[in-house]
Homo-oligomer: A and B are copies of this chain.
Amino acid sequence: MAERKDKTTSAARTGRVRTEDRARIDGRTHADGRTHADGRVRAVIDALMPRVDAGRFPAKCIAGEAVEIEAHCFADGHDKLRVVLAWQPSDAAAAYELDMQAQGNDAWTAQFTPPAPGRYRCTVTAWVDHFASWRDELERRDDLADLRVALQVGAALVSEAAARARAGDAAILEDWAALLLKSARPQAAVDAPSLKALALDPARAQVLERYADRALADSASLEIVADRKRAGFSSWYELFPRSASPDPARHGNFRDVEARLPYVAEMGFDVLYFPPIQPIGRAHRKGANNAVEARSGDVGSPWAIGSAEGGHKQILPQLGTLEDFRRLLAAARDLGIEVALDLAFQCAPDHPYVQSHPQWFKHRPDGSVQYAENPPKKYQDIYPFDFETQDWCALWEELRSIVDFWLEQGVRIFRVDNPHTKPFRFWEWLIEEVRRTAPDVIFLAEAFTRPRVMHRLAKLGFTQSYTYFTWRNTKRELTDYFTELASSPSRNYFRPNLWPNTPDILHETLQSGVRAAYAARLVLAATLSANYGIYGPTFELMESTPREPGSEEYLDSEKYQLRHWTLDRPDSLRSLIARINRIRRENAALHSDGSLRFCALDNPQLIGYLKSEAAGNVILTVVNLDPHHVQSGWIELDMGSLGIDAAAPYQVHDLLSDQRYQWRGGRNYVMLDPQRMPAHIFRLRRRLRTEHDFDYFM
């Protein structure tokens, strides 16, 4: 014995770990910035979701909608764990706490509903619950002697909890502990079932659970951003205010747009987005069809911001005054429409900043300001900001003040022009700064660039993102791309906003001018994604001529000249658009994207997909991607996951044609004639009951 004891280390004998060892022990047990100096912490939080890049960025959710937090928690051995979720607005002092539920395989979940837009902090805390472990074992004990020992052990646990409890509860627990001890005595002669009943008393256990010992808990946190409802579900319409004049000879203005609002509202859009409304530079102004030299009377590109008339906080005089603009905002609001502005952080050569803050621009050896270029191409009408300027702090603050200015006018949605050409750090700071005081602001990232760059922008804070949708046209392309976007990790931070066309993109599929092609792309955009938009009136009027063959630019593009539109043309798509937007509003399944599932369909020209939501609304969209020929095939639905009885008939109600079909089982026939309508938007209706000859469906 003596010899053996000599083999133990001196540290073991003194009961102390050297300071540097303890530091190492501590250092190694830090995960995610957590600090636990105590090696007795046995609970582990192995994973926490939803997180983006392991917590580097917050995940996104919608205020008013439940969000599920999942943690993978366990401890060594067989002891029971308790896991709680505390959530709070990030700047709040107090948190709401709820128990997380074990879902099997060491996954624990809890849901909470952020009440309002803003940033929230969720902290999961897990610990070995000695009382629960004791209860769990006690349930399996039947031996009287064992039970007596167990009751004594339990009495100690109850006493410890009593010491932590509030007065009234403390008394209950002290009484219970005494009763357990007393009953455990052999002379008490209490039988085994009575001992168990006393020990397992649920009411007293509930009191005790309020005073759990969390001294040896592990915890981990995440942040989550809650956006308002429209961030997750929106229908955008883009127009150039200057082309809104009913008089072809006159420059359009905000009053003209005001008159146009009922037209937009009837189509069912809820966001009306304008290209930049600021003064347009005169130096190096571009002419019609992007001619290098403007002719007298050419209006220039709205993205060449700034002139003697002002910069980013002024309005182009021809469009109207700030007061006109605010009036327009109010009129739109009355029709349920929000106005979105363009944030284009660049300057025309005659922008006031160029004189007032030359240090914000790069200069050439001859002292002139460096224009944008991508040799051999030169963009002499655009001066980019130099974000590497020593004076970057002032530049950041000034750009933020531009956002603040428009916020003051009542704007809450911004479409950000080419965010990928300004530093990522800047956007992360700007968006968080703005949303700190105005958490209802929505930023749409107009970045058509490499996938990881687009995803980074979404991660760092952009509320919605343009996508590759315009260039995804085949069944394979659409299926792959939207499956990826609807899956983790994308779905936690990337909210797609789909556009069949934009002022920069008239895709080849639309250059045919074939109505079915427009209708198909419209249905795809409006049903694949809860957020979508069109650039009108070019879209509904099926404007289809490119500037030259092979180009995606519109001929006589509104980007460089005024246009006049005849809105009441009989072939306009406006009534189809109105119907589709009504279908979107009325069907909650189309208000989010996470449920998207593509269906097996044995015709490569037909694409079919389901969306559903918790309350039972299920939408099946089928689109014929061939604008010229009738296509048909067999579509397969997974009846089990839809919760539809595979044996009973059910109804599919085409909300586009208002026709209803009786289907049975998972496999059914579909046929779409593009001359009539290239798509079905089916609402699935389960049969509730049959009375006489009538079927009732929900």
Contact = CB atoms under 8 A, between A and B. Distances in A.
Nearest to A155: B365
A16 interface: yes
A15 interface: yes
A311 B4 contact: yes
Q: How many copies does the complex hold?
A: 2
Interface string A19-33: 001101100110110
A11 B7 CA distance: 69
A105 to B, nearest CB: 7
A137 B375 CA distance: 6
A402 B13 CA distance: 14
A658 interface: no
A75 B395 CA distance: 19
Nearest to A427: B76
Contact of A397 (B17, B29, B401): B17
Contacts of A42: 387-388, 423-425
Contacts of A21: 393, 397, 433
Given A11-B394, A41-B425, 20 more contacts: A7-B313, A9-B397, A13-B394, A21-B433, A25-B393, A28-B428, A28-B429, A29-B429, A36-B425, A40-B389, A42-B388, A42-B423, A46-B452, A54-B56, A74-B450, A74-B453, A76-B420, A137-B373, A141-B376, A152-B365
B137 A401 contact: no
A352 B4 contact: yes
B78 A428 contact: no
A44 B424 contact: yes
Nearest to A308: B1
B421 A77 contact: yes
B44 A456 contact: yes
Contacts of A695: none
Interface residues of A, number: 101
A216 B423 CA distance: 12
A44 B72 CA distance: 30
Contacts of A405: 7
B396 A17 contact: yes
Given A216-B388, A352-B4, A24 B376 contact: no
A364 to B, nearest CB: 6
A144 to B, nearest CB: 13
Contact of A387 (B40, B140, B397, B420): B40
Nearest to A402: B7
Interface of A: 1, 4-5, 7-9, 11-17, 21-22, 24-25, 28-29, 31-32, 36, 38-42, 44, 46-47, 53-56, 72, 74-78, 105-106, 137-138, 140-143, 146, 149, 152-153, 156, 216, 308, 310-311, 313-314, 352, 355-357, 364-366, 373-376, 387-389, 391-398, 400-401, 405, 420-426, 428-429, 432-433, 450-453, 455-456
Contact of A452 (B74, B313, B450, B455): B74
B364 A432 contact: no
21 contacts: A1-B356, A11-B393, A11-B397, A12-B394, A13-B394, A16-B394, A21-B397, A25-B396, A38-B392, A42-B425, A44-B456, A46-B455, A47-B452, A53-B54, A54-B56, A74-B452, A74-B456, A76-B422, A106-B452, A142-B376, A152-B365
Contacts of A7: 313, 401, 405
Contacts of A54: 53-56
A56 B393 CA distance: 34
B376 A143 contact: yes
Given A376-B140, A387-B42, A429-B39, A394 B15 contact: yes
A429 B355 contact: no
Contacts of A29: 425, 428-429
Contacts of A424: 42, 44, 76
A384 B11 CA distance: 21
A580 to B, nearest CB: 35
B141 A375 contact: yes
Given A4-B314, A12-B394, A28-B429, A105 B450 contact: yes
Contact of A32 (B56, B356, B420): B56
A513 B231 CA distance: 65
Nearest to A17: B393
A308 B4 CA distance: 10
Contact of A365 (B141, B153, B394, B426): B153
Contacts of A451: 105
A3 B678 CA distance: 55
Contacts of A376: 140-143
A41 B429 CA distance: 13
Given A39-B393, A396-B17, A12 B401 contact: yes
A263 B125 CA distance: 54
Nearest to A370: B153
A75 B433 CA distance: 22
A39 B106 contact: no
B387 A149 contact: no
Nearest to A384: B77
Contacts of A74: 450, 452-453, 456
A181 to B, nearest CB: 9
A388 B40 contact: yes
A89 to B, nearest CB: 17
Contact of A8 (B137, B356, B388): B356
A398 B12 contact: yes
Nearest to A153: B365
A106 to B, nearest CB: 5
B433 A24 contact: yes
Nearest to A360: B12
Given A364-B153, A401-B9, A421-B77, A429 B24 contact: yes
A203 B675 CA distance: 65
Q: A25, A356, A395: which has the most chain B beta carbons within 10 Å?
A: A25
B313 A423 contact: no
Contacts of A426: 39
Contacts of A450: 74, 105-106
Contacts of A156: 365
A398 B313 CA distance: 71
A393 B452 contact: no
A28 B432 contact: yes
B140 A365 contact: no
A420 B75 CA distance: 8
Nearest to A142: B376
